[in-house]
Amino acid sequence: MAADPVSTTEPRILFVAGTRPEAVKLAPLILDLQARSHRPLLVATGQHREMLDEALAGFDLRADRDLGVMAPSPDAVVGRLVPALADLIRAERPAVVVVQGDTSSTFAGALAARYVGVRVAHVEAGLRTGTHDPHPEEMHRKLVAQMADLHFAPTAAAAAALRAEGIAAGIHVTGNSGIDALLRMQARLAADPALAAAAGAPLAGIATNRPWLLATVHRRENQGQRLSAVLAALAELAADAQVIVPVHPSPAIAGPVRAVLGARPNVHLLPPLSYASFVALMGRAALVLTDSGGVQEEAPAIGLPCLVLRDVTERPEGVATGNAVLVGCETAAIVSAARAVLNDAALRLRMRRPALPYGSGGAAGLINDVLLRQAVPASVQTTESWSRSDGHRQSSPASAS
């Protein structure tokens, strides 16, 4: 998506993305708007450099603006991003700023927009664990809810959580756009042999004499002793399955993973995969062990049994359908739960029944319908002035309906 000058006749919708999950879940919205002949503005914060670019490229997208802000901690990321984003928002004058999820980029985008006086739309609003974990993500979700004008809740439970916190207006239950992305990528892999071959290339050479066990771990609260316990479980499970681990690039994750599992038979440590390759891998796996929110949403949709490496989850719907089980991070509990799925055909069959608790693939269209109808009303598309020194929009007489 090439950079282009700001239109004076079309309301501008500005998207903020800093991480791979944000790119994956915002891509369907951007593609849907482009199909409607709108020209959204995608701003990359730089929080996760290569992983963001690669995820966007999987949808033939690229950022229009790249702030290049990278920092070693969430507080530093937010501290650098807020003024940079505020300056950009003032210059671009969007009608609405769209943020997704719960990252430092999400929080900084919402805060910068509110400081400038631009409306905020939050995609994937209302997810709650009811605890302080995950930190700082749970805090970000709650704070963004206080700043957003439009709350796109993926499920009825997420909408109820927002209402319980006193959010009275602007809540829309839409499903999760991550399912849109998943179904789009599955269709592309099925229709494009060259793409399917490229996506499967990183998996070449992994033996099929045992079931494939996919494992992803990256969350901050699962570092240290909890990560050591997970890795011990994976080492033990390598006696039962081919254990496949796309290794997160964080040194706090990658170092221990390679130290414990690097020389283990039947363990395959892969670099971070493209989205196409990861979808292909999920399609071939017998079981996934994960602390990822996105994988918890994707696994039920494709009938992939999912063991969640957390004590609580903000995505209880997959547990309710029976596709996912919370197992925590104790070695014995993980091994026992994984072997139960691998060895119990009846249990495996129940967990493999596809379910769509997070939507059926139409979230992007529903979200954009609301954005175009409510966030950018026709009466203010071309007549708003920005004359006030604090950056708040002020309607000119011509905009009165």
| Rounded alpha-carbon distances, angstroms, from residue 137 to 106, 143, 213, 229 | 10, 10, 27, 23
Active-site residue (options: 39, 248, 339, 352): 248
Residue 354, number of CB atoms within 10 A of its CB: 12
Can you read off the two tokens belonging to residue 205? 């050479």
Please confirm, yes or no, whether 102 is among the known catalytic residues: yes
CA 64 – CA 129 distance, rounded (Å): 34
Tokens linked to 17:
């993305």
Q: What is the Cα Rg of the chain in Å? A: 21
Catalytic choice (124, 138, 297, 298):
124
Catalytic residue, chosen from 218, 226, 310, 315, is: 218
Which tokens belong to 12? Answer: 């501008």
Q: Is 291 annotated in the active site?
A: no
User: Minimal CA–CA distance to 234: which of 220, 226, 244?
Assistant: 244
- What single letter denotes the amino acid at residue 195? L
Reply yes or no on whether 137 is catalytic.
Answer: yes
User: Active-site residue among 90, 220, 348, 350?
Assistant: 220
Residue located via tokens 């997070």: 358
Per annotation, catalytic residue among 32, 64, 137, 297: 137
> Is 384 known to be catalytic?
no
- Residue written as token pair 């290569």: 50
From the list 358, 353, 400, the residue with the least C-alpha distance to 379 is 400
3-state secondary structure 191-228: HCHHHHHHHHHHHCCCCCCCCEEEEECCCHHHCCHHHH
Token pair, residue 359, equals 């939507």
**Residue 220 annotated as catalytic:** yes
Q: For the chain, give me the number of helices (H) and strands (E)?
A: 16, 15
Q: Residue 113 has what DSSP assignment?
A: H
Instruction: Determine whether 218 is an active site residue.
Output: yes
Active-site positions read 102, 124, 137, 218, 220, 248
